[in-house]
Amino acid sequence: MTSPKITKQVAELLSLAKITKAPVEVLEVAKAAGVVVKFGALPDELSGFLMREAGQVIVGVNSLHSRRRQAFTIAHEIGHHVLHPKANFVDHKVLYFRDGRASQAIDEKEMEANQFAAELLMPAPFLAKALKGETVDLEDDDRVEELAKKFGVSTQALTFRLINLNLAQQG
């Protein structure tokens, strides 16, 4: 379940970036949030990072990952930027690495950033418009993939979001 605070922050950011429909252009959102996005080859287990240095906020993204993974990574790191603006400063740098811990949902800041990313890439109003009042049968692989493609996310991310918003059914 996404917190109302995260929902509000995402809505404000989408408005600032003038985004009104899916797929959400995360590079436009990053620009609106004052974040510079850089792509480069990283070890496979590393999706991306957020670094604050010399007044700049830089998100690094693994260029070897799929576009859908990259979009989620950028959204996740924007979440850290918005939600955790002063966390863990060390030598005027903050690094948040997207790795296995985040997907295991054991770190509160990582879970919040994941919620932010899901809300940003699949805003409830955008999903409601796409579904036109219907729920999605999670066993209908074609429908799930069609929606995932429309929103530019993985089927796994979409499935979790649909379940969390009570927009899914099985069978």
What average pLDDT does the segment 24-39 reach? Answer: 97
Can you tell me the distance from the alpha carbon of 88 to that of 85, in angstroms, rounded to the nearest whole number?
Answer: 9
**pLDDT score at 93:** 31
Query: 111 CB contacts (<8 Å, ≥6 apart)?
Result: 102, 105
Task: Establish how many alpha carbons lie within 13 A of residue 48's alpha carbon, considering only the half-sphere containing its beta carbon.
Answer: 28
**pLDDT score at 104:** 52
Instruction: Provide the residue ranges of all domains of the chain, joining segments of one domain with +.
Output: 4-121
What average pLDDT does the segment 6-21 reach? Answer: 97
Query: 107 CB contacts (<8 Å, ≥6 apart)?
Result: 101
CATH topology of domain 4-121: Arc Repressor Mutant, subunit A (1.10.10)
**pLDDT score at 49:** 87
**pLDDT score at 37:** 96
Which tens digit of pLDDT belongs to each residue from 117-151? 999 999 999 999 999 999 999 999 999 999 999 99
pLDDT tier for residue 171 given thresholds of 50, 70 and 90:
low
**How many residues are recorded in the chain?**
171
**pLDDT score at 106:** 62
Which tens digit of pLDDT belongs to each residue from 90-119? 222 344 444 444 455 567 888 898 999 999
Which tens digit of pLDDT belongs to each residue from 38-55? 999 988 888 888 888 888
**pLDDT score at 92:** 25
**pLDDT score at 46:** 85
Mean pLDDT of all residues belonging to the chain: 87
Angle between helices 108-121 and 67-83 (to 10 degrees): 120
